[in-house]
């Protein structure tokens, strides 16, 4: 079942083209990676998917409903179907960790106050932050903030989860723990995950499918699982990225994308 | 090339006007009971711009009252009219100085804090996280800040009047041997409700201005450290200039109305 379909998306900031011709689908239960070098528009693409930025062209469709053709009420309804972990966790600094996790549940409107708090504590225990519910974000380490942000994103059990560079700034062990947590969440809830990353270990560990954005051509240049692309990609930029090598000079990049 | 309406329109400050409209709509919704912000946040912000502002408002207004009394006394004594220092300080503090000085202090303190806080939230993507939930930054972040200042500025103005008069009384007592009772008696004769009403009205308008300017520059700041600094500076400068401009408008209107 296709939860998210992106068709011929074009992203611009004013006249400046970021990416064009972006098309992919995310199936229920899959983990989809948005890959590419720094500055190619990965996080920008994610912001287009969650409705923070309007595309210059193309469509973003959730369960066959075009997000940008829906009215405000329709878009609000679609947004209840996904959770988002921002790169910096984006925890609201004036609220405790528990209040951060409770606010999306309050917006959802399905649970009363006691139920929201119980659910929030359950999710925090799941990400191993049960003892830190009454802490403020400033009192947490980087890894703890990421886990708190993840708890906030999954509290309402969304069928679709968006993660922006979840491992950024984390040490290798914390990064591995977060990867395992994402796999655990997928196993428990069956949600689909769309994540942006340029961390190779995470890409190889958890992604089932993906798309590779190129900053030079401003188009996607590869589709597929990172593990498969590592062995089969013919585009030199993709090969170099996934092998963690210097890319060849532009004159040598004549191989077509797979 | 002739100027078309679109060219002219592109020069107008559309974004601040749109922001003002959003705040007004949000305020209207809140009055109808449909506010989106947390009451806990409103309480926290109100405490920060009231109780915690009292010390600096006290010091500044006492000193302003004292300065007015000192400058006035030096001249009035030459005419044997030293007691009229009470009139001078009372009217000046009530009509102008308490509202303006308190507003300038709050612009530098609270307006800057609003701008810095919201700019930092923008840089940390906290505002984006609210928008993903369908919460408007104006409803959730701006309105409680503007509401807090709308309520607290008049109270701080009244407090500023009292402390300003106190400063004047101290100087009058020290320089002119005017007893506190005589000073207060003279002040009550000189002051009437029009002076206090004018100052009170100014404080409400200044409070709204400081809140909205601080929040505007914070929300539209660049998402980096420099952006936070620029937003804070702009918030303070524009607020202070706005206070003076609005005070001039009040002066013209008061003169026209004979207040």
- Does this model's pTM top 0.90? My answer is no
pLDDT of residue A257: 46
Task: Write the DSSP assignment of chain B as a string of letters.
Answer: -PPPHHHHHHHS-HHHHHHHHHHHHHHHHHHTT---S-HHHHHHHHHHTTGGGHHHHHHHHHHHHHHHHHHHHHHHGGGT-GGGHHHHHHHHIIIIIHHHHHHHHHIIIIIHHHHHHHHHHHHTTHHHHHHHTT--HIIIIIHHHHHHHHHHHHHHHHHHHHHHHHHHHHHHHHHH---HHHHHHHHHHH--HHHHHHHHHHHHHHHHHHHHHHHHHHHTS-SSHHHHHHHHHHHHHHHHHHHHHHHHHHHHHHHHHT-
Tell me what percent of the residues of chain B surpass a pLDDT of 70. Answer: 95
**Structure confidence by residue, pLDDT tens digits, B92-136:** 999 999 999 999 999 999 999 999 999 999 999 999 999 998 899
ipTM, 2 decimals?
Answer: 0.87
**Subunit contact B125:A50, Cβ cutoff 8 A:** no
**Which two three-digit tokens encode residue A137?**
């974000």
**Structure confidence by residue, pLDDT tens digits, B137-167:** 999 999 999 999 999 999 999 999 999 999 9
- CB distance from A143 to chain B under 8 Å? no
- Using an 8 Å CB-CB cutoff, list chain A residues near B42: none
Closest residue on chain A to B37 (Cα): A103
Q: Residue A227's CB: how many other CB atoms inside 10 A?
A: 15
**Subunit contact B128:A90, Cβ cutoff 8 A:** yes
- CB distance from A94 to chain B under 8 Å? yes
**Subunit contact A107:B132, Cβ cutoff 8 A:** no
Q: Minimal Cα–Cα distance from A104 to chain B, Å? A: 7
pLDDT of residue A170: 83
Q: What is the mean pLDDT of residues B69-87?
A: 90
Of the two residues A257 and A100, the one the predictor is more confident about is: A100
- CB distance from A103 to chain B under 8 Å? yes
Indicate if the pLDDT at residue B7 is higher than 70. no
**Structure confidence by residue, pLDDT tens digits, A114-143:** 999 999 999 999 899 999 999 999 999 988
User: Out of B41, B120, B134, whose CB is closest to A107?
Assistant: B134
pLDDT of residue B3: 66
Q: Minimal Cα–Cα distance from B202 to chain A, Å? A: 31
């Amino acid at each position: 079942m296709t939860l998210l379909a992106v068709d011929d998306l074009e992203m611009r900031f004013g006249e400046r083209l970021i990416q064009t011709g972006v098309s992919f689908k995310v199936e229920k239960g899959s983990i989809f990676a948005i890959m590419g070098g720094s500055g190619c528009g990965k996080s920008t693409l994610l912001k287009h998917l969650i409705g923070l930025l309007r595309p210059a062209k193309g469509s973003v469709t959730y369960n066959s409903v075009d997000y940008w053709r829906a009215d405000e009420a329709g878009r609000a309804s679609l947004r209840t179907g996904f959770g988002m972990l921002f790169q910096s966790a984006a925890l609201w600094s004036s609220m405790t960790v528990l209040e951060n996790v409770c606010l999306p549940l309050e917006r959802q409107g399905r649970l009363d106050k006691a139920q929201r708090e119980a659910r929030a504590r359950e999710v925090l225990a799941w990400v191993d932050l049960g003892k830190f519910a009454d802490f403020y974000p400033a009192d947490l380490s980087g890894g703890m903030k990421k886990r708190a942000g993840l708890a906030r994103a999954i509290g309402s059990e969304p069928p679709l989860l968006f993660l922006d560079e979840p491992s950024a700034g984390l040490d290798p062990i914390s990064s591995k723990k977060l990867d395992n947590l994402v796999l655990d969440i997928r196993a428990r809830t069956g949600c689909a995950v769309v994540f942006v990353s340029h961390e190779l270990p995470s890409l190889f560990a958890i992604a089932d499918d993906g798309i590779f954005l190129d900053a030079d051509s401003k188009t996607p240049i590869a589709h597929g699982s990172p593990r498969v692309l590592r062995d089969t990609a013919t585009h030199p930029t993709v090969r170099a990225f996934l092998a963690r090598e210097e890319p060849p000079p532009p004159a040598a990049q004549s191989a077509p994308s797979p | 090339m002739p100027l078309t309406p679109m060219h002219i329109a592109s020069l107008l400050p559309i974004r601040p006007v749109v922001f003002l409209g959003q705040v007004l709509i949000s305020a209207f919704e809140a009055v109808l009971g449909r506010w989106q912000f947390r009451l806990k946040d409103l309480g926290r912000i109100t405490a920060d711009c009231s109780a915690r502002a009292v010390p600096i408002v006290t010091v500044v207004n006492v000193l302003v009252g004292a300065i007015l009394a000192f400058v006035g006394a030096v001249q009035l004594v030459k005419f044997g009219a030293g007691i009229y220092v009470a009139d001078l300080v009372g009217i000046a503090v009530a009509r102008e100085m308490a509202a303006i000085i308190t507003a300038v202090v709050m612009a530098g303190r609270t307006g800057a804090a609003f701008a810095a806080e919201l700019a930092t939230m923008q840089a940390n993507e906290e505002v984006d996280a609210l928008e993903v939930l369908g919460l408007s930054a104006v409803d959730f972040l701006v309105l409680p800040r503007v509401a807090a200042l709308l309520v607290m500025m008049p109270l701080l103005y009244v407090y500023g009047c009292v402390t300003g008069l106190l400063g004047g009384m101290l100087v009058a007592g020290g320089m002119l041997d005017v007893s506190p009772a005589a000073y207060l008696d003279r002040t009550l004769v000189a002051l009437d409700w029009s002076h206090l009403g004018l100052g009170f009205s100014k404080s409400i308008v200044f409070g709204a201005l400081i809140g909205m300017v601080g929040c505007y520059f914070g929300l539209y700041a660049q998402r980096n450290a420099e952006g936070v600094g620029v937003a804070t500076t702009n918030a303070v400068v524009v607020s202070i200039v706005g206070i003076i401009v609005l005070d001039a408008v009040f002066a013209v209107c008061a003169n026209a109305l004979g207040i």
